[in-house]
Amino acid sequence: MLKLDLHIHSQYSQDATGGPRDIIKILQKRGLDGMAITDHNTVRGGLKALKVKPSGFIVIPGVEISTSDGHIIALNVKEEIPRDLSVEETVEKILDIGGVPIVPHLFRKMSGIKEKKLRLIYRQVPAMEVFNGCSLPKTNIKTAKTARRFNLGGTGGSDAHDPLYAGYGYTIFDSTDTNVDSIVSEINKKNTWGEGTTIPLQVRRDRMLKSIKQFFQRGFRRI
């Protein structure tokens, strides 16, 4: 069995801290086998992680894209994808470059695409994030039930914006094959699921306040 945190932000996200090396060290201490760096609208963190990763540690480059309808994660991509397109257009662009589209935090107020938009893309998406370390437990339960209802696989990620909380959420792979192509194949086959521990309340509260402050600083523009 493998455990990978498939939703982490690094210093290449404007609202996060820590470099890929720091994140990797924390994940190794927590016994995880790998990760995906999914910075906001840039693949720079994932590409950097590929360069600095130690032997045997799995890195899947990725990005969390701000669509006009909410966020979509693209895994196994090494090139930038334009932001602010519709969720349907974004998923098509991810697939066109060989990436894997994942729906994160479906019900999040500011950045989830919600079920209405999910209905437009679920046939092109193999999995939803069924465990997010920054979401309330009841929200993760609701999301997991929705994934099952749409016959989708599941992923898990910490959604950490500080290396200290990397690994609080992770994706379970019922396999020991560390080849990235094999791991991606398992996601596409809907053979994965997400688990983890919710990040402490005070940390989540501080991040929410910071996000609201940055939203105003950006001129009411979502990240």
- pLDDT value of position 206: 67
Residue 49 tokens read as 């992680």
Summarize pLDDT for 48-100 with one digit per residue, the tens.
Answer: 999 999 999 999 999 999 999 999 999 999 999 999 999 999 999 999 999 99
- CATH annotation of 2-217: 3.20.20.140
Token pair belonging to 161 = 């914006």
* 129 three-state secondary structure: strand
pLDDT for 198 equals 94
Which parts of the chain sit beneath pLDDT 50? none
Q: Which residues of 182-213 are buried (b: 16+ CB within 10 A; e: fewer)?
A: ebbebbeeebbbbebebbeeebbeebeeeeee
Helix (H, G, I), strand (E, B) or coil at 102: strand
* In the chain, where the domains are located: 2-217
| Contact of 143 with 106, CB cutoff 8 Å | yes
Sign of CA dihedral 214, 216, 219, 221: positive
Give per-residue pLDDT as tens, 138-149: 999 999 999 999
Whether the model clears a pTM of 0.75, i.e. scores above it, the answer is: yes
Check residue 164 and report its DSSP letter. Answer: G
